């Protein structure tokens, strides 16, 4: 099983994910997998693979998930909050939040495999900054270049000074909540989660602060 930089990341075939979630009683799933459940043959194949890799074990009541997989898939099955993330290149990721954070992305464009990461809020922030290659902290003197009195997201995204979107956090209805974008010569953060638009220069500390506020509030 494959792991990644945040310590708890694993690769599953999509039919394995659907087999696990159906076993947890999930009827509708917000994710990359197909809407329909795997047929009997695909489910048996998935269970065999999961058993051999130590994801599940046999018990008197049938197959059960080992840890940390039980906690991880329980969050996917019934998250406190769900988000998606993407950027100008269309690199999409799904985020399921509870007391831990689970992220899911396609392992590669040419396969049905999914990479699922699992960690606390700090690990999730580190992973997102690495995954989306967010820039270094901006110099404070560049703050004079930030736009003033932005009323809504349409006004900001319609501004010709916006040349790239490095990261965009979206709610379940695909409305933006948090963006990291290139504005002229500087990189900025735009927070749309309140009634007004909040903007500031990009720093890792500012990103962490806004991300925590949105995900944990």
Helices 121-131/204-216 angle, 10° precision: 130
Say how far apart CA 20 and CA 26 lie, in whole Å.
9
Say how far apart CA 81 and CA 124 lie, in whole Å.
14
pLDDT per residue over 184-202, tens digit each? Answer: 989 999 999 988 889 999 9
pLDDT band at 100 (very low <50, low <70, confident <90, very high): very high
- Is residue 167 pLDDT above 90, yes or no? yes
Q: Which residue has the higher pLDDT, 211 or 37?
A: 211
Residue at token pair 């979630």: 21
The kind and range of the H/E element at 64 are strand 62-65
Q: What is the pTM of this model?
A: 0.88
Nearest in space to 23 (alpha carbons), one of 31, 54, 55, 1: 55
- In this prediction, residue 6 carries a pLDDT of 46
- Is residue 3 pLDDT above 60, yes or no? no
């Amino acid at each position: 099983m494959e792991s990644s930089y945040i310590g708890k990341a694993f690769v599953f075939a999509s039919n394995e994910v659907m087999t696990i979630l159906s076993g947890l009683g999930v009827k509708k799933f917000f994710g990359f997998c197909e809407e329909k459940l795997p047929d009997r043959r695909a489910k048996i194949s998935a269970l065999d693979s999961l058993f051999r890799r130590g994801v599940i074990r046999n018990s008197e009541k049938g197959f059960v998930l080992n840890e940390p997989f039980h906690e991880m898939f329980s969050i996917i099955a019934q998250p406190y909050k769900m988000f998606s993330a993407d950027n100008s290149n269309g690199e999409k990721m799904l985020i399921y939040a509870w007391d831990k954070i689970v992220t899911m992305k396609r392992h590669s464009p040419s396969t049905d495999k999914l990479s699922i990461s699992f960690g606390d809020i700090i690990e999730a922030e580190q992973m997102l900054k690495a995954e989306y290659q967010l820039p270094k902290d901006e110099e404070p003197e560049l703050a004079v270049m930030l736009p003033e009195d932005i009323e809504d997201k349409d006004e900001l995204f319609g501004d010709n000074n916006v040349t790239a979107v490095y990261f965009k956090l979206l709610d379940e209805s695909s409305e933006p909540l948090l963006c990291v974008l290139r504005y002229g010569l500087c990189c900025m953060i735009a927070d749309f989660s309140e009634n007004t638009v909040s903007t500031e220069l990009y720093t890792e500390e500012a990103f962490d602060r806004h991300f925590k506020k949105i995900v944990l509030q």
